[in-house]
Every structure is written in structure tokens, then in C-alpha cells.
């Protein structure tokens, strides 16, 4: 894990070896899915073209990061479009992250998320602070070379990130969903502003962007089939795993048909609300300690015999504090966290 305060345009040269290593990890990951470099390059360049039309500054930043890191622009574009690459070729990606937001009737919201990804990506994690313009600061957890993922901005808006899979994915070119997250963090101060940004993006993969401020929250389910808003429940909770909750978009659900653990995890979260509403992050993390053999993989570890492309593991646990503009996190899975070792940034 690397933590840094840096201008975005300096990131490539400052972390050239880390970005190159991240690209190498994804090269191996794509190869394990039988995706050739030529196919990956084609999707990446198409995604970069879409980005240049939708958010020219982000397309330019990808180029600057690539130049600083000594990589081809399509390679850094592929890092940012890795969800789109996998969607185009229908690569079998199992369930991913679990997210909880609690918006109480009084007091600040509390959140927590696991990032479940391939075990081979354990060294690609970056906690990054940057200023897209004077007077506006963003803190984000992401991967080296990827411009944003989970984060919070100085306007008091936080964003959690869960990938989804829809039948419409991969059938056209689109803006990478990670860059939709980046633009929301760079520009939005309200849920409505975040929704407008998401609505403006033509995408080719699907994502659940859970947006929270001091007074409101919702999930933006974004897909090539459309955008839906999932509101906070009557109990003040938003619970997210990796399937669509909007009834219309759920008709195209793809992941749940192959990996019902996404449904199991959602049900498990609903049974753990007392711990998940705690203001103490250690309590919230403890509430996520449930393994697949216990009922659901809220806390994810790969079987010893899993092939390379199926070695899914919880690599970080992270929470957002929108009031203090802060990330709180710990490397590893919920069952390995130390109540006294949380890092606040």
C-alpha cells in the first residue's frame, strides 16, 4: 500500500515502476482469460477515444501518466478500462465487493466497503490525494495508473464502487466506469450532480456508484441499458453487493446467474445491521467477518486450488468520512484487521 499527496500529472513519473508493475499484473490477468494484447489494445483505444470526447482532461491525464511511467498510452488506458475489456469478452468474473452506507436520522453517515479482487493485485493499491482545481481536493483509493475508484472530496461527497454485470455489457464502446467515478469525485458536491455526470456518460460496462453526503445517499446503477437510482431504505441503510437492485435493470442481470454469492452477501449484510451502523469502524469491520463456508463471502479468500484468474481475495477494507474529508482503511480482509491499526488519511 502506498499513500501519497501528489498532483495527478506528476503521478506517472513519481510511481513509474509501480504503474509498470500494475500493468504487468493485468497483462498476466488478461492472458489468464485468454485475451490477446491486440484485443486488449483495441478495446483500450476505443475507450480512450470515448473518454476524449466526454472528458478531454481525463484522456489527456491518461496520456501524461503513460508518458511519465514509460508505457504506451493504450496500456494505461487499458488499466482504466479493465472492466470494459472484461465486459467486451464476457470474461467470467466472480462476485466482488460489499458496501454499506448508513444515513442515520441524526448524526453523520457511516460507511464501509471491502475491495475484493484478484490475489495477484495485492500490490497495486494506492491511496492518493490530489487537487483537480484550486480549492477542491479529492482523496481516493485506487490502483496505480487508474485515475480513481472509492473516494471522498472536500465538498463533502463520498463514493463507493461495486462492479455489476448486465447482458448489455460489452456490445458497444464506452467511457470507462472508473473514469465516471473520477469525474464525480472531481466535480460533484451533491447526489443530483453525481447523477447528472453519470447520466451524461455512455458506458459499455456496468457499475454501482454509491454516493453519500452528510444529508443524502443513493446508488447510481449505471449500465449500457440505462441509469437507475436506488434510494436509502426506510431504516437508513444502503446495502450493495454485485447485482442490480433496480427491477428494470435486474432483468438483464448476468453475474447472479453464475455466482449467487452476490445475493447471499446482500442477505448476510441485512442480518448484520447493528454492527454495521456502529460509529466505530472496528465494529463495522467485525460485522463483515463471514466466509463462504459460513454462508457468504463477505470476507473473501481464494481456495488453495483456485486457478490464477479465480483467486479472489478481500485486499482492503475502507470507510469514508464525508464530514472530515477522510478515508479510513486497513490492508487485508475483515478477519485480519487489527482494531487498533486503522489508518486515517
pTM of the model: 0.96
Lowest mean pLDDT among 185-189, 253-257, 277-281: 253-257
Can you name the residues that pair with 222 across neighbouring β-strands?
207, 227
pLDDT digits (tens, 9 = 90+) for 289-312: 999 899 999 999 988 777 766 788
Quote the percentage of the chain above a pLDDT of 70. Answer: 97
Q: What is the pLDDT of residue 7?
A: 59
Q: What is the pLDDT of residue 104?
A: 95
Quote the percentage of the chain above a pLDDT of 90. Answer: 87
pLDDT digits (tens, 9 = 90+) for 221-244: 999 999 999 999 999 999 999 999
**For residue 10, is pLDDT > 80?**
no
Does the domain spanning 99-344 belong to CATH 3.30.70.20?
no
Q: What is the pLDDT of residue 224?
A: 98
* Average pLDDT over every residue of 239-261: 95
Q: What does the H/E/C string look like for the chain? A: CEEEECCHHHHHHHCHHHHHHHHHHHHHHHHHCCCCHHHHHHHHHHHHHHHHHHCHHHHHHHHHHHHHHCCCHHHHHHHHCHHHHHHHCCCCCCCCCCEEEECCCCCCCEEEEEEEEEHHHCCCEEEEEEEEECCEEEEEEEECCCCCCEEEECCCCEEEEEEECECCCCCCCCCCHHHHHHHHHHHCCCHHHHHHHHHCCCCCCEEEEEEECCCCEEEEEEECCEEEEEECCCCCEEEECCCCCCCCHHHHECHHHHCCHHHHHHHHHHCCHHHHCCCCHHHHHHCCCCCHHHCCCCCCCCCCCCCHHHCEEEEEEEEEECCCCEEEEEECCHHHCCCCCCEEC
**For residue 8, is pLDDT > 70?**
no
Domain boundaries, the chain: 2-88, 99-344
Q: What is the pLDDT of residue 257?
A: 86
Instruction: Report d(CA 185, CA 134) in Å as an integer.
Output: 14
* Average pLDDT over every residue of 65-81: 96
Question: What nine digits make up the cell of 331?
Answer: 490492508
Q: Which residue has the cell 449500457?
A: 224
* Confidence at 9, pLDDT banded by 50, 70, 90: low
Q: pLDDT averaged over the chain?
A: 94
Q: What is the pLDDT of residue 91?
A: 75
* Confidence at 202, pLDDT banded by 50, 70, 90: very high
* Average pLDDT over every residue of 139-156: 97
* Average pLDDT over every residue of 186-190: 98
Name the more confident of 302 and 288: 288
* Long-range pairs for 261-266: beta carbons < 8 A, 24 or more residues apart: 261/94, 261/95, 261/292, 261/296, 261/297, 262/95, 264/295, 264/296, 264/297, 265/95, 265/98, 265/241, 265/296, 265/297, 265/298, 266/239, 266/240, 266/241
CA dist 7 → 13, 130, 224, 238 (Å): 11, 5, 32, 33
Instruction: Report d(CA 116, CA 297) in Å as an integer.
Output: 10
Asked if residue 252 lies in contact with residue 224, where contact means CB atoms within 8 angstroms, the answer is no
* Average pLDDT over every residue of 29-45: 94
Name the more confident of 135 and 10: 135
Q: What is the pLDDT of residue 250?
A: 98
Amino acid at each position: 500500500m502506498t499513500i501519497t499527496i501528489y498532483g495527478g500529472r506528476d503521478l506517472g513519473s513519481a510511481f513509474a515502476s509501480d504503474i509498470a508493475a500494475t500493468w504487468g499484473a493485468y497483462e498476466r490477468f488478461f492472458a489468464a482469460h485468454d485475451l490477446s494484447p491486440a484485443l486488449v489494445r483495441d478495446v483500450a483505444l476505443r475507450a480512450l477515444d470515448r473518454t476524449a470526447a466526454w472528458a478531454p482532461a481525463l484522456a489527456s491525464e491518461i496520456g501524461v501518466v503513460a508518458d511519465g511511467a514509460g508505457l504506451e498510452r493504450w496500456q494505461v488506458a487499458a488499466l482504466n478500462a479493465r472492466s470494459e475489456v472484461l465486459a467486451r469478452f464476457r470474461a467470467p468474473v466472480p462476485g466482488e465487493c460489499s458496501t454499506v452506507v448508513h444515513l442515520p436520522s441524526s448524526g453523520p453517515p457511516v460507511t464501509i466497503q471491502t475491495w475484493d479482487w484478484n490475489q495477484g493485485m495485492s500490490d497495486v493499491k494506492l491511496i492518493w490525494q490530489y487537487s483537480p482545481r484550486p480549492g477542491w481536493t479529492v482523496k481516493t483509493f485506487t490502483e496505480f495508473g487508474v485515475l480513481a475508484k472509492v473516494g471522498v472530496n472536500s465538498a463533502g461527497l463520498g463514493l463507493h464502487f461495486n462492479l455489476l454485470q448486465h447482458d448489455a455489457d460489452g456490445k458497444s464502446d464506452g467511457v470507462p466506469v472508473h473514469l465516471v467515478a473520477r469525474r464525480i469525485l472531481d466535480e460533484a458536491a451533491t447526489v443530483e450532480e453525481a447523477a447528472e455526470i453519470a447520466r451524461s456518460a455512455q458506458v459499455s460496462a456496468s457499475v454501482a456508484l454509491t454516493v453519500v453526503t452528510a444529508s443524502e445517499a443513493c446508488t447510481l446503477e449505471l449500465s449500457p441499458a440505462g441509469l437507475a437510482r436506488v434510494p436509502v431504505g426506510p431504516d437508513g441503510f444502503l446495502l450493495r453487493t454485485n447485482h442490480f437492485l433496480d427491477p428494470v435493470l435486474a432483468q438483464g442481470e448476468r453475474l447472479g446467474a453464475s455466482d449467487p454469492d452476490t445475493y447471499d452477501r446482500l442477505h448476510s449484510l441485512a442480518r448484520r445491521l447493528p454492527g454495521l451502523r456502529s460509529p466505530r469502524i472496528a465494529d463495522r469491520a467485525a460485522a463483515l467477518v463471514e466466509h463462504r463456508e459460513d454462508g457468504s463471502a463477505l470476507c473473501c479468500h481464494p481456495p488453495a486450488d483456485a486457478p490464477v484468474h479465480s483467486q479472489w481475495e478481500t485486499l482492503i477494507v475502507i470507510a469514508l468520512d464525508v464530514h472530515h474529508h477522510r478515508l479510513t482503511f486497513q490492508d487485508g480482509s475483515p478477519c485480519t484487521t487489527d482494531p487498533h491499526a486503522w489508518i486515517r488519511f
